[in-house]
Structure 1
Amino acid sequence: MRIALGGITHEANTFCPRAADMSSFEARQLARGDEILANWQRTGTEQAGAMSVFSSQPRCQVIPTLLARALSSAPVEEKTFRRLLDELVERVHAAQPVDGVLLVLHGAMMSEAEPDATGEVLARVRAAVGPGVPVVGTLDLHANVTERMLREATALIGYHTAPHVDMFETGQKAARMLVETIEGRITPAAALVRLPMLLPPENSTHNWGPLSEVIHMALEMEREGALLHGGIYPVQPWMDTADVAASVVAITDGDPAAARGRAMELARVFWARRGEFTSELVPPDQAVRRALARPPRTVILCDSADATTSGSTGDSTVVLRALLRAVPFEGTALANVVDPGAVARAIEAGIGSTVTVRVGGGLAPETFAPLSFTGYVKTLSDGTFTFKGPGMRGVPHHMGRTAVLVQDGIHLAVMERGVSQWDPQLYRSLGLEPADARMVQVKSPMAFRAAYEGLYDEVIVVAAPGAASPQLASLPWQHLPRPIYPLDPETAWP
C-alpha cells in the first residue's frame, strides 16, 4: 500500500493588512520529502498521528511530499500559493502510483485570487491521482467547508476539540479511514449542511458551553455506529467572502441519505444555540482594575482581538496602555507586542541598559497606535521555543529576536514576529513564569486554555480593537452573504 502524505495549511483573516508570503511558511513549517518523517513524527500534529497509523500497517509505504503551514493572516499571496500548490502536485505526481493520499489542511485558507483555496488544493490533487484513488483530508474546527471541498475529497475529518488538543488523534482517524477505504472495508458517504452564522470563538469550546453540546452529540453518533465521523465547524469568522458559513459534515458508511439526516439533526441543535456564543467583553482599564481587585493570583487578560493565530498582527498596545495607567501595583504583569524596530534598539542597548522605545502600531497603524515604553533590558533571546502541549505538543515556534523590557512591574516581551500564544512556553522561554504573575496578557481567544490550565484564577476577555475582534458588527464587512447571524439578528434557517 503506497500513500502520499502532504498538505498546505493556512487560516485567512481578510481584515488583516498583511498577506502570507513564502517567508511566512518558512517561519512556521515548510518541510519536504524525508524532512517530514524526520522532523514531525514525534509531535502532537495531524501528520504525526497519521504516520503512527501508517507505520502500524503491514506493507504500508508513506511517500512524504510537501507540508506547508503559515500563521493566520490576510489571504496567501497568489504567487506563493501557486508555487506551493504546484510543488505539492508535482510531488504527488512523482509519488505515483499511489493507493491513497492524506492531506493535512485547515479548511479556511484563501489566496489573493482564490476564495476557496482548500477546495483548489483538493481539486488539483484529485486531478493528479484520478477519480479512483481515495483522498482524505484533515480539517481545523474553524474550517469553511464548501461543496467543492466535499466533492473533491473522499472524506474530510475535523478536530473535535477547542482548544485544539486532538490534532494527533484527528490524523490517526483520517489515516484509519483512508486505509479502510483503500482496503474496501468502508465507502465514505458525506453530507454537508451550511448555516448562515458566524460565531466568535471565545465561548466556543468542547469542554463547556453551546459548542460542547453539539460536539458531544456528534461523538455519540460515532460511538453508536451511526456515523464514521461527525464534523462540527463554527468557521473562521473573519473571512469577508461571499461563500462563508458555519457547517456540519456527517459521514456514513455508504448511506448518503442517512448522512444527510444526521447532518440536519446536528445542524438544528447547532443553530438553536447560536445566541449563546457571546462572551462578556470588559474595557481595558476596567479589566486591569478587576484583575487587581482580586486576591493576588494569576488573571489572564485575553486580548483576543489581536490574536495572531486568528489573523491579527500582534502589535496592539491597548492592554499595555491600560497596564501603564494602573502602575504602581503589587506584583508583576506579563505582556507582549510585535515590533522588530524596538527589538533592534533593545539589542543595541544591551542587557541591563535602560532604553526608551516606541512599541506597537507598526504593522496595523490604521488600528493600533504606538506608545513610548521606558524599561531596562532584562532578557535577549533568539525567540525559539517548543510547545509542551497538549495542543501542538513538540512543535517548534520562532518569534524572531526577542527582548524583555521591564518597567514598574510590567515585563514586556517585544518580538520580531508574531507566533501562536497557545502555550505558556512563550513566556517561560524568556525566563518569565506566568503562574507567578498577577496578570498575563495572552493574544488568543480560547486555544490557550488547555496549556494554561491550572495556572490562572480567572480569564477576562478584553474589549479591544483588532482584526480578530469578537465584536463582529464593528468590522467593515463588504462581501458577506446576507442575511447572516449575528450581523442580521433575524436571520432565518432553514
Structure 2
Amino acid sequence: MSSHQLRIAVAGILHETNTFAPGFTDIGHFREQWTVGGEAFTARYAGTRTSMGGVIAAAEMQGIALVPGLYVAATPSGMVDSATGDALIEALVESLDSQTDGLVLIMHGAMVSEQYLDYEGECLRRLRAKVGEDFPIAMTLDLHGNISQEMVQQADLIVGYDTYPHVDMYERAIEAFGLLVRTIRGDIRPVRALAHTGMLVVPQGMMTEEGSMKALMERAFGMELLPGVLNVTVAGGFPYSDVPDAGMSFVVTTNDNAELAERCAAELVQMATYDKATFNVSYVTPREAVDEALAQPDGPVILSEGSDNVGGGAPADATHLLAELTTVPRKALIVIRDQEAVETAWRMGVGGVFAGEIGGKSDTLHGKPVAVKGRIRLLFDGHYRHAGPYMTGQQAEMGKTAVLECGQLTIILTEKRVAPWDVGHVRSVGLWPGDYHIIVAKSALAWQTAFGTFAKHVINVDSPGCCNANLRHFSYNHVHRPVYPLDAEPQPRFGLYA
C-alpha cells in the first residue's frame, strides 16, 4: 500500500432496545446526541472516555485523518418505530464518506426497530451496499449486544466491551481502531468465529469482576495472548430484546486462522453452558428489602431495583419501592421520573410544599402513583457532566429537576429518565450519597459506577417491571428456541466468517 495518509470514517447509531418496555422510541429521543461531521463530533467527544473519544484519541496518536459522519444515540427504551428506524439508517449511509480507507462503526448490538429485528445487521448490510465488500469495517459493541450472523459476516472486526459495569469503551475503541488500521495496511486478515450459547442471561448475572462471568473474561483474555488471536469478545447479550439472536455469545477473531477461532469459541461455549445455573440471581420483595436495609447498622444500603432498570429501557417511574419508603425512619434517597410532578414543583418554587401523587404513570406494570408531601428544596435545569469512571466527561441531561424533602425520604424528581451511571446525577443537585442509609438504584449493576465506592450493602429487589430478572414473566415470540432458562437445556449455535 502507498504511504499516503490514511483517512478513516467514524459513524454510528447506538440504542439498547427493550421490546417489552412501554411506548415507542422515536427520532426525537435521538436528538440529544445527534452529531454530524468532524467539528461537531470533536467538540462533543474529544477528551471524553467514551467510544467516540477513544476513536478521536487513536486517530491523533497514529496521525490518521478522522472523517466523522453521523453519530446518534438515545437512552435505552422501548421499540424503535419504523419511520425512525429507516430515517436513521438512511442518514447514516448518506453521511459516510466512501472515499475513506475504512470505517469504525459504533453500535450497541441490541437495537431493534419495528421492521428490523437485527438493526445492526441491517445497518451493515446497507453500508456494504454503498462501500462494497472489500471496504474494511470495524464495529464496537456493548457487552450486552445480541450478536447475529449478519453482523459477523458484514463487519471485518467486532470488538466488544470487556467490563460490566462498562468502564472500558474508550480502550476498546482504541483497540478496534488499531486492528482496523492493521487490516487496511494488509498486516492482518481477520477471520471470525461466532458461537452462541443458547442462553439468556439477565444483567445481574454478568458482573465481570465476580463469578462465572469473571471466569469467562479471564479465559478470553488468556486466549488473546495466543499467537494469531486478535480479539475475543464475550457478549452477555440483552434478554429484554425479543429477537432470534438474543443471549450470550462469543466472537473470536484471528489472523487468518479459522481452526483456532472455532476452537476458542467452542471452548467458551462449553464453559458457559456447563456453568449455566450460576448466572441466575436471587431477590427479595420490596417490603423485605426495606426491612433488611433498616436492620443494617451502617449504610448506604443500595436497593437495586433492576426491574425498573433505566439502562435496560425501563420507564424510571416504578413505585413498588417508593411505596415502602414514604414513612421510612432513616434517611433514604430515590430518583423518580415524573414530568407532570416536576412542572408542578417548578410552578411552586423553592421552599414550597409539594403534595401530590408521583410515579406510576407509564403503565400499570410498574406500580400505581404514590402520594407524597414534602418541601421543595431545589430546582435544577438537569445539565451535568459525568465525573466518575463511566464515560468520564460525557454530557448528561435529566431535564427539569426538583428535589423534595419528604421527612426522611429525599426524592429527586426528573423530567427525563436518568440511569444511575454516574454520581453526577446526585452531586449536581447538592446531595451526597454518603449521607443516606438507603439509596434506591433503578439499575441492575451499572449503578456501581455511581455508588459503588459508597455502598456498604447491596440488596436485589424483586418487583414487577419490564426488566424483571425472572424471564418467564415475558412472552417471547422471536428468540431462537430452545433457550435456557426458558427451556431446560441450551442449544449452542456456531458459524465461521472470513
Of 198-207 and 3-12, the range deviating more from structure 2: 198-207
Q: Who is 1:187 aligned against? A: 189
For residues 371 and 400 of structure 1, the distance between their equivalents in structure 2, rounded to whole angstroms, comes to 22
- CA positional deviation for 1:359: 0.8
For residues 242 and 219 of structure 1, the distance between their equivalents in structure 2, rounded to whole angstroms, comes to 28
For residues 414 and 309 of structure 1, the distance between their equivalents in structure 2, rounded to whole angstroms, comes to 18
- CA positional deviation for 1:72: 0.9
Q: Who is 1:452 aligned against? A: 451
Which amino acid in the other structure matches residue 65 of structure 2?
Q
The reply on whether 1:468 has 2:478 as its aligned counterpart is: no
Q: Who is 2:107 aligned against? A: 105
Question: Is the contact between residue 12 and residue 75 of structure 1 (CA under 8 Å) also seen in structure 2?
Answer: yes
Aligned CA distance change for structure 1 residues 379 and 15 (closer, same or farther; 3 Å): same
- CA positional deviation for 1:389: 2.3
Q: Who is 2:66 aligned against? A: 62
Secondary structure at the counterpart of residue 432 of structure 1: coil
Q: Who is 1:44 aligned against? A: 49
For residues 388 and 243 of structure 1, the distance between their equivalents in structure 2, rounded to whole angstroms, comes to 35
Q: Who is 2:14 aligned against? A: 9
- CA positional deviation for 1:350: 1.2
Query: For residues 94-243 of structure 1, what are the structure 2 equivalents within 5 Å?
Result: 95-243=97-245
Which amino acid in the other structure matches residue 72 of structure 1?
P
- CA positional deviation for 1:349: 1.3
Which amino acid in the other structure matches residue 415 of structure 1?
T
**Structure 2 residue aligned with 1:245, among 220, 243, 247?**
247
Which amino acid in the other structure matches residue 52 of structure 1?
A
Aligned CA distance change for structure 1 residues 317 and 135 (closer, same or farther; 3 Å): same
Secondary structure at the counterpart of residue 362 of structure 1: coil
Question: Is the contact between residue 203 and residue 446 of structure 1 (CA under 8 Å) also seen in structure 2?
Answer: no
Aligned CA distance change for structure 1 residues 371 and 492 (closer, same or farther; 3 Å): same
Query: For residues 251-400 of structure 1, what are the structure 2 equivalents within 5 Å?
Result: 251-324=253-326, 327-330=327-330, 332-400=331-399
- CA positional deviation for 1:479: 3.1
Question: Is the contact between residue 345 and residue 357 of structure 1 (CA under 8 Å) also seen in structure 2?
Answer: no
- CA positional deviation for 1:25: 0.9
Of 185-194 and 386-395, the range deviating more from structure 2: 386-395
- CA positional deviation for 1:366: 4.2
Q: Who is 1:432 aligned against? A: 431
Secondary structure at the counterpart of residue 254 of structure 2: strand
Identity between Structure 1 and Structure 2 (%):
34
Q: Who is 1:405 aligned against? A: 404
Secondary structure at the counterpart of residue 191 of structure 1: strand
For residues 478 and 148 of structure 2, the distance between their equivalents in structure 1, rounded to whole angstroms, comes to 17
Moved over 3 A (4+): 490-494
**1:366-402 CA deviation, whole Å, 9 max, x = no partner?**
4421111111111111111211121111111111101
**Alignment size in residue pairs:** 487
For residues 461 and 433 of structure 2, the distance between their equivalents in structure 1, rounded to whole angstroms, comes to 18
**Structure 2 residue aligned with 1:24, among 24, 29, 44?**
29
Which amino acid in the other structure matches residue 344 of structure 1?
E
5+ residue gaps in structure 1?
A: none
Question: Is the contact between residue 66 and residue 87 of structure 1 (CA under 8 Å) also seen in structure 2?
Answer: yes
**1:110-164 CA deviation, whole Å, 9 max, x = no partner?**
1111000000111111221111110000000011100000111111100011110
Which amino acid in the other structure matches residue 409 of structure 1?
Q
The reply on whether 1:87 has 2:87 as its aligned counterpart is: no
Aligned CA distance change for structure 1 residues 31 and 285 (closer, same or farther; 3 Å): same
For residues 226 and 98 of structure 1, the distance between their equivalents in structure 2, rounded to whole angstroms, comes to 27
Question: Is the contact between residue 228 and residue 257 of structure 2 (CA under 8 Å) also seen in structure 1?
Answer: no
For residues 220 and 466 of structure 1, the distance between their equivalents in structure 2, rounded to whole angstroms, comes to 38
- CA positional deviation for 1:226: 4.5
For residues 298 and 265 of structure 2, the distance between their equivalents in structure 1, rounded to whole angstroms, comes to 47
5+ residue gaps in structure 2?
A: 1-5, 494-498
Query: For residues 71-82 of structure 1, what are the structure 2 equivalents within 5 Å?
Result: 71-82=75-86
**1:398-456 CA deviation, whole Å, 9 max, x = no partner?**
11101111112100011111022111211111111111110111111011213323201
Return the TM-score normalized by structure 2.
0.95
For residues 367 and 433 of structure 1, the distance between their equivalents in structure 2, rounded to whole angstroms, comes to 27
Which amino acid in the other structure matches residue 465 of structure 2?
G
**1:26-57 CA deviation, whole Å, 9 max, x = no partner?**
13x11111201111011111111122111122
Question: Is the contact between residue 192 and residue 250 of structure 1 (CA under 8 Å) also seen in structure 2?
Answer: yes
